[in-house]
Amino acid sequence: MNLINSDIKNILVIKMCCLGDVVQILPAVNILKQNFPDAKITLLADKWVEPLKVHLTDFDDFIVVNNTFSRNLFQKASTAIWLINKLIKRKFDFALIGHRNNAFGCLTYLAGIKYRLGFSETKHVNIASGFDDKTHEAQRYLSILASCGLNTDNFEVGIKATVSKAVMRNRIGIPLGNSVIGIFPFGGINPGMDMRLKRWELEKFKTVGYTIVKKFPDYSVIFFEGKYEDEKYQDKFFQPGFFKINIGINEINACDKFIGNDTGSLHIANALGIKTIGIFGPTDPDVFGPLNTGNFFPLVHKINCSPCFNHTIAVSRTNRKYWQGNKFLCHEKHHRCIKDLDVDKLFEIL
């Protein structure tokens, strides 16, 4: 089906979670913006994504759902009914479904949306592309749009800071003229999934920061904190030349370079045009890494069992080899893909 000349006015994009995953779908959203410049584009997402709202340039509106990951059947049913009624009232004529989940295919069908785009295994979509586990996540969404005739070669990632780099550095207290390296050693926690296994050791991040301020006095290092208790630092962690602030998009934008695990902040930094160095162990940077390869440099320790995480394993929570409830496990029980990563290798990239 070719939709190039279709009179599409109201587009729904469904990507419930999480920050990095929403960034991965932004190239496809930009393609929609280019091809249907008069259309209103709305993002349907979980409240987890709310911090991104003011920074996403290609969306005109948002529908935020509070109980996406609830296990309460009554809450799930009432949320589904509320959502169907809301979508019907909005009169969407086009939906891009960023999940392999039959529930979203059913929702868009019951809401009367004419064009329902998604992956071929999702029921009730009528324009589909196959899901390839080895294809980069952002490219998968672009492939869906290509299946309806849209040219997906040229795109931008629609995300921006709302505070300038200079103003944010002044707020933080960065010395004038210093270059800034941001470090976020945490992440890996999403609704319904605990992948702390992706984290490099905190002491290695500290060694990186300490070496930078010792050898390069014209560099400042920001250590970002997250919102969870185990994403905070002890006072004894800090050295002269370190800055500590809560992580956010404007705060990330203060950096010239960014170092972090495979988590949403890494994708955001890369989308802002910042040179990013990503720590990858159980996940494959060719599939899950930032799409902007010109600014992205993965740090990987190649061993036979890594990468072990893929989308098939992601949905197989009853597989006790990889999962303990919602917690992802090292099935070899040694975690060498992360533990054997050497600090010196990072400095070769930096």
Looking at the chain, which residues constitute the CATH 3.40.50.2000 domain(s)? 10-146, 165-349
Specify the pLDDT at position 64: 93
CA quadruple 53, 56, 60, 64: dihedral positive or negative? negative
pLDDT above 70 coverage of the chain, percent: 99
Specify the pLDDT at position 192: 80
Specify the pLDDT at position 197: 93
What is the CATH architecture of 165-349?
3-Layer(aba) Sandwich (3.40)
Residues 89-123 have pLDDT tens digits of 999 999 999 999 999 999 999 999 999 999 999 99
CB count, 10 Å around CB of 154?
A: 9
Q: Residue 328: in which H helix or E strand, if any?
A: strand 327-328
Residue 164 has which token pair? Answer: 């300038």
What is the CATH architecture of 10-146?
3-Layer(aba) Sandwich (3.40)
* Global pTM value: 0.93
C-alpha span between 42 and 246 (Å, rounded)? 28
Q: Region of 119 please: left (phi>0), alpha (psi -120 to 50) or beta.
A: beta
Specify the pLDDT at position 13: 98
Residues 317-334 have pLDDT tens digits of 888 899 999 899 999 999
How does pLDDT run along the chain (350 residues), one tens digit per residue?
788 778 899 999 999 988 999 999 999 999 999 999 999 999 999 998 988 999 999 999 999 998 776 677 778 888 889 999 999 999 999 999 999 999 999 999 999 999 999 999 999 999 999 999 899 999 999 999 999 999 999 999 999 999 999 999 999 999 999 999 999 999 998 878 899 999 999 999 999 999 999 999 899 999 999 999 999 998 777 777 899 999 999 999 999 999 999 999 999 999 999 999 999 999 999 999 998 778 999 999 989 999 999 888 887 888 889 999 989 999 999 999 999 999 999 998 88
C-alpha span between 155 and 262 (Å, rounded)? 23
C-alpha span between 328 and 240 (Å, rounded)? 36
C-alpha span between 193 and 199 (Å, rounded)? 14
